[in-house]
Amino acid sequence: MKASSAVALAALGAALAACQRPPAADALFPLAAGHRWTYRVTTRLGDEASERETLTLRSLGNESVPALGDAAAWHRRSDSGIDYWLHADASKSDLEPEPVPDKPPRYVLKAPYAVGTQWQASTTAYLLMRRNEFPREIRYSHPSVPMTYQIEALAESVEVPAGHFDKCLRVRGSASVRIYADPASGWRDMPLTTLEWYCPEVGLVRVERSEPAGSSFLTGGTRTLELESWQ
């Protein structure tokens, strides 16, 4: 599935993208108009209590994008008003006024869909923060971190609030960001890990993001997306 990057889903780096085939042929990533996915998002930062919110995404169909020379792109929109433009060679993030081409092209699910298939895409530290410095967010100083993705399993079973799903594809993303941890440890490579599950005819059903700190100067966290309902 050759694709472009898009806005990070709930700041998790689960980039969404269109395929070169019709969306009906892509059971693991439906894009046809009329679909809706509602996710339960649970975030835990450091020692703080978990916070829970809801994220809803809707697929609006294939539309022409003037910034791409009126080329067609698949359009998704979140309930917070963020537009996701999905195209084989262009994207739009919430920080950009118009869609721009990916350089180099980015893959979301790369063929062959087999255990061991790998690709790279950029991410950042969404949960890792400094305790006492400003700005606290590591993502401002490290906005683009290369993450290596690998297909780990092809027939996983996943249980989420929306139900039980079988024959799901599991993808692991692994990266690290080098930052000053504390005087005792000095500079360290802090791990960033993502697990994603894509299930036939439904798409993305679960995401687990982990950014541990392991330092008195830093605070880390976890974030989980679980599909609550879809149509």
At 117-147, the pLDDT tens digits run: 999 999 999 999 988 878 888 888 899 999 9
pLDDT mean over 101-114: 70
Q: Which helix (H) or strand (E) holds 195?
A: strand 186-199
Mean pLDDT, rounded, of the chain: 80
Looking at residue 70, its pLDDT comes to 73
Report for 77-86, 161-170, 180-189: range of highest mean pLDDT: 161-170
Q: Cβ neighbours of residue 183 under 8 Å, at least 6 residues apart?
A: none
At 52-85, the pLDDT tens digits run: 999 999 988 888 777 667 777 778 888 988 877 6
At 14-53, the pLDDT tens digits run: 333 333 333 333 678 888 899 999 999 999 998 888 899 9
Confidence of residue 8 (pLDDT cuts 50, 70, 90): very low
Confidence of residue 2 (pLDDT cuts 50, 70, 90): very low
Torsion of CA 212, 179, 215, 189, to 10 degrees: 60
Looking at residue 7, its pLDDT comes to 32
d(CA 40, CA 130): 27
More confident: 156 or 64: 156
Residue 11, pLDDT above cutoff 50: no
Residue 204, pLDDT above cutoff 70: yes
pTM for this predicted structure = 0.80
Nearest to 17 by CA among 99, 115, 137: 99
